[in-house]
Amino acid sequence: MVQIQAKMMNVLLLFTLFLNTESCFSTDTTDYHTGSPAASTITLPAGFSSTVFYENLGRARHLAVEANGDVYVKLERLKDGKGIYKLTDTNKDGVADRSVGFGDYTGTGMAIKNGYLYASSDEGVFRYSLKTDINAETQPEKIVIGLWNRRQHAAKSITLDDAGNLYVNIGAPSNVCQVEDRKNASPGRTPCPILDSAGGIWQFKADQQNQSYPQGSRYATGLRNVVGLDWNASANDLYAMQHGRDMLFQSYPALFNQQEGAENPAEEMFRLKKGADAGWPYCYFDNGKKQKLMNPEYGGDRNTPGVCPGKTPSIVQFPGHLAPNALLFYTGTMFPEKYRNGAFIAFHGSWNRSPEPQEGYYVVFVPFKDGMPSGKWEVFADNFAGPGKAQGKADFRPTGLAQGPDGALYVSDDQKGNIWKITYSGK
């Protein structure tokens, strides 16, 4: 009897193995979600509501929404071997019920333009035609290749204009271009050699393959690291959010006390014309003095404007270290009038305000008129972090923003991989 049972177990085991092997070789990554959707815990202004469109996608970075409502999300870490997921809400209840993974590379950038999906790795940009269904076997065109990836600030964020151009941020692999990166009292280098290949936004053709530095052009320079950037079609200009430098208090306690170190430098928004120079690494924006001043590594003492008055001024300044990871100009009609053509910014949340309390972990809104800010910024969506904003304890960290064809706003999180869909009904 025991023997028979054992034999049956073996057969069962073999059968199970067979089933598993089947799923191993299967190329269909479609999965259908069942079960009740998670409740959204983020807070919004009156009249807005949200659903958790998808959860636990992992390191979800930027996202883009197709005209049919399908949501594409770029991952910083492969999930089941895939780096991009297409999420579909087939029954239109605000929750995706179908996901398909493709692309075997990690990265941050995700954008849709003229029937193509653009995705970035930390070295370049790929694109896929949306005319046919993308599946796990679809091979993308390589649009941009061979960009600097030196680990620090390696994410390549992207946006496209209406004239066939692709903009790619190449972050500087450095804090402030010192002789020895991040070392106390190590002087800044003049001129900063990094700026030849990074620390700016490069322009490429949106439809040409295998472009690299020689085929592209440096559109704007003097930007330490930009993760959030967007082409504002109504102003016909490129806008970008810079991640400001670290360690002012730690490196220069005689100039910045602990709290001033947490508040400085400003995280800045720039409107960038071709040839703009935002001033990094020579300048920083001092939130206390309300002006752009020389960095201490370049002889600054919190009073010296130096070369900074000649640099492109920022158009909005935020408190220090909030880490702006996405910028989106709202062009929909679902949200009330005040939001039209205004800017949403996803702040990933700070870590280097320690030992001061951390800040950020929210989506803010800046009203705009004629391409320039027309009022003070305000927190739009909050409570992503959960009970506290302690470093490393945040439940979710806003990272990507996208607008749906109906005007809904999507927010991604790269802590657990949640995607929220925010809608307005006025109720």
Partner 1 sequence: MMKFICILLAGIVTCMGITGFFSDPVPQQPSPAASIARGKNVYETYCLACHQADGSGVQRLNPPLIKTSFVLGDKKTLIGIVLNGLDQEIEIDGEVYNNVMASHDFLKDQEIADVLTYVRNSFGNKASAVLPEEVTKQRAVNKK
Interaction site with partner 1 (CB under 8 A): 151-152, 154, 175, 180-186, 246-247, 249-250, 351-352, 354-355, 391-392
Q: Give 165 or 399: the residue with its C-beta nearer to partner 1.
A: 399
Q: Which is nearer to partner 1, 351 or 377 (CB)?
A: 351
Q: In the bound complex, what is the minimum distance in angstroms from residue 394's beta carbon to partner 1?
A: 10
To partner 1, the closest distance from the beta carbon of 343 in angstroms equals 26
> Closer CB to partner 1, residue 304 or residue 354?
354
The smaller minimum CB distance to partner 1, of residues 331 and 354, is found at 354
Closest C-alpha among 221, 157, 153, 234 to residue 191: 221
Q: How far is the CB of 154 from partner 1 (least distance, A)?
A: 8
Token output for 16: 């199970």
Least CB distance to partner 1 at residue 180 (A)? 6
* CB-based contact 263:368 (threshold 8 Å): no
Least Å distance, CB 213 to partner 1, is 23
Nearest distance from C-beta of residue 250 to partner 1, angstroms: 5
Q: Reduce the DSSP state of residue 87 to 3 states and report it.
A: strand
C-beta closer to partner 1: residue 335 or 396: 396
CA torsion sign for 293, 296, 297, 298 is positive
Which residues have a Cβ under 8 Å from the Cβ of 135 and sit 6 or more positions away? 27, 28, 100, 102
Tell me the closest approach of the beta carbon of residue 84 to partner 1, in angstroms.
20
Q: How far apart are CA 309 and CA 323, in angstroms?
A: 25
Quick one: how many helices (H) and strands (E) in the chain? 3, 30
Which residue in this structure is represented by tokens 């402030």?
176
Smallest distance, partner 1 to C-beta of residue 354, A: 6
Is residue 272 within 8 Å of residue 240, measured between CB atoms?
Answer: yes
Give the nearer residue to partner 1 in terms of CB position, either 342 or 360: 360
Of 76 and 277, nearer to partner 1 (C-beta) is 76
Q: Smallest distance, Å, CB 181 to partner 1? A: 5
- Nearer of residues 258 and 304 to partner 1, judged by Cβ: 258
Please give the structure tokens belonging to residue 98: 């179908």
- The rounded distance, in Å, linking the Cα atoms of 34 and 30 is 13
- Tokens representing 249? 């208090």
Q: Quick check: 179 and 187 in contact, CB under 8 A?
A: yes
Q: Which is nearer to partner 1, 94 or 199 (CB)?
A: 199
Task: Kindly state the smallest distance separating residue 427's Cβ from partner 1, in Å.
Answer: 38
Please say which residue, 181 or 196, places its beta carbon nearer to partner 1: 181
Largest Cα span, the chain: 91
- Min dist CB 170 to partner 1, Å, is 16
- Based on CB atoms, which residue is closest to partner 1, 151 or 427? 151
> What's the CA gap between 257 and 279, in Å, rounded?
24
